Chains A and B, each alone.
Chain A
Amino acid sequence: DAKTTQPPSMDCAEGRAANLPCNHSTISGNEYVYWYRQIHSQGPQYIIHGLKNNETNEMASLIITEDRKSSTLILPHATLRDTAVYYCIVYPGSGNTGKLIFGQGTTLQVKP
Chain B
Amino acid sequence: DAGVTQSPTHLIKTRGQQVTLRCSPKSGHDTVSWYQQALGQGPQFIFQYYEEEERQRGNFPDRFSGHQFPNYSSELNVNALLLGDSALYLCASSSPYLLAGSYEQYFGPGTRLTVT
A: residues with CB less than 8 A from B are 2, 32, 34, 41-46, 49, 51, 85, 87, 91, 93, 95-105
Contact = CB atoms under 8 A, between A and B. Distances in A.
A102 B58 CA distance: 13
Interface of B: 4, 31, 33, 35, 41-45, 48, 50, 55-56, 58, 90, 92, 94-96, 98, 100-110
Secondary structure type dominating chain A contacts? loop
Contacts, number: 68
Secondary structure type dominating chain B contacts? loop
B107 A44 contact: yes
A17 to B, nearest CB: 24
Contacts of B94: 96
Contacts of B100: 93
